[in-house]
Structure 1
Amino acid sequence: MTSASAISIPQSIVTVSQESADSTGHLINRSQLLTYKAALKSVRKEFKIDHDVPDDCIKLDVKCAIDEKVQFLTVSGPLEWEGIASEMKHVRFKLYKPAPGITAFKREDDVKDEDDVVAERVVIEVSDNSDEEDQGAAEHQDAMNVDSSNDKKPAYSTKFISKRSHNQVVQNWRAVNYDAPWVVPPSNLAKVLQDHIENATSPSDKIKLPDVVRNRLSPAEHEWLKARIGHMRSSVHERKVLVDEKLYDVLVKAHRPISQQINRHANTATMSRRIGEAYIFTPTQDFYQKWIASCPGCKR
Structure 2
Amino acid sequence: MTDYGTERLPGLPEAVTICEVGPRDGLQNESTPVPADVKVEFIERLADAGHTVIETTSMVHPRWVPQLADAEEVLRRLDRRPAVRYPVLVPNLRGLQRALDLGVTDIAVFASATESFAKTNLNRTVAESLEMFAPVITQARETGLQVRGYVSMCWGDPWEGAVPAPQVVDVATKLISLGCTELSLGDTIGVATPGRVVALLNALTAASVPIGSIAVHFHDTYGQGLANALAALQHGVTTVDTSAGGLGGCPYANSATGNLATEDILWQLEGLGIRTGLNLTKLVETSSWLAGHLGRESPSSVVRALRKS
Query: Same-fold call, TM > 0.5?
Result: no
Please report the TM-score for the alignment, with normalisation by the length of structure 2: 0.24
Larger radius of gyration: 1
Q: Which structure's residues are more often helix, by fraction? A: 2
Please report the TM-score for the alignment, with normalisation by the length of structure 1: 0.25
